[in-house]
Amino acid sequence: MEAGRQRQGRLWSNLKEVCDLLHIPAANSIANEELLFQHVQFKTGQRIHTIGQPFDTLYIVNSGFLKTVLIDEYGNEQVLSFPMKGDMLGVDGIHTRHYSSEAVALSDCDLILLPFKKLTALGRIHLELENMMYGVMSRELVREQAMIGMLGALSAEARVARFLVALAERFAQMGYSSKLFNLRMTRHEIGSYLGLTLETVSRTLSAFNEIGLISVDQRTIGIKDSEALKTLRRLPPSRTRGKPATGKSKGGDTVPSGQLLAAL
């Protein structure tokens, strides 16, 4: 809303604003008013791009919430991410020149269009921009690596807990409250994202609520004990059998009845 200006009845952003959105330290040398990127608005439920569609532009989220999904051979959706302000969409299309995922608006959205050709050409002139591109793609990769680690190693409770913490941090850095916020996605979508069923997500939220870690009312989540959420991990504390990679938890771990919590 703050970024962008009217021009011919449309919103446009300059390079500086784009860099700010992406948290890229932009040299002011590039505050070029002639270099403008167009905005596009999407309404809730609209598709930004679909799988297989020819790729030619990247998107940056200026406002709103989305999901990106994969669709398997049986038509089942698999949620890959929940992009929000400052995130980039469409990077997966660069390789094959066709988007390999689908992006859907979970709320009314304002996106900035970045024609890929134009962007790379600009990158050769403005090195910050080039660095931005590499940086954003690398960040995305690291994020997905973390996701893989989570799916491969964590229990259902831990996944939901970390999901909430991550969301809270995103809201914080967007200037919203990190203690009380609204989920923009359904339990089903959360479950798909975390590799769980909607029932498990629902139950886990209820459990957290009872223990006092959070408060739940429909889509409204209140974070009560973010520390506990952060340190929550798999229930059977996977006590290093065999070779302790780092000899640490040798003591009996006398956590009495903490079958849900596990102190660090």
Give the footprint of its own copies on this chain (CB under 8 A): 70, 72-78, 80, 91-96, 100-101, 120, 124, 130-131, 133-142, 144-149, 151-153, 192-195, 233, 238, 240, 244-246, 248-249, 264
Q: Which is nearer to DNA, 8 or 218 (CB)?
A: 218
Strands 109-115 and 36-42: antiparallel
Partner from its own copies, DNA, none binding residue 156, C-beta < 5-8 Å depending on class: DNA
Toward DNA, which CB reaches closer, 166 or 235? 235
Q: Which is nearer to DNA, 103 or 161 (by Cβ)?
A: 161
SS3 call for 28: helix
Q: Is residue 222 within the footprint of DNA (CB under 7 A)?
A: no
* Residue whose CB is less far from its own copies, 203 or 230: 230
> Rule CB under 7 A: which of 124-163 touch DNA?
155-157
Instruction: Name which of residues 224 to 253 contact DNA (CB under 7 A).
Output: 234-236, 238-239, 241, 243
Q: Is the dihedral of CA 169, 171, 173, 177 positive or negative?
A: negative
- Of DNA, its own copies, none, which one sits near residue 187, judging by CB under 5 to 8 A according to partner kind? DNA
How many other CB atoms sit within 10 Å of the CB of residue 136? 19
Rounded distance between C-alpha atoms, residue 22 and residue 237, angstroms: 38
Site string for DNA, 105-124 (x = CB under 7 A): --------------------
Alpha-carbon distances, residue 22 vs 55, 84, 87, 104 (angstroms): 21, 11, 7, 20
Residues 6+ apart with CB under 8 A from 138: none
Measured CA to CA, the distance from residue 130 to residue 125 in angstroms comes to: 9
Mark the segment that binds DNA (CB under 7 A) among 8-16, 67-75, 166-174, 199-207. Answer: 199-207
CA dihedral 58→64→70→71, nearest 10 degrees, is: -120
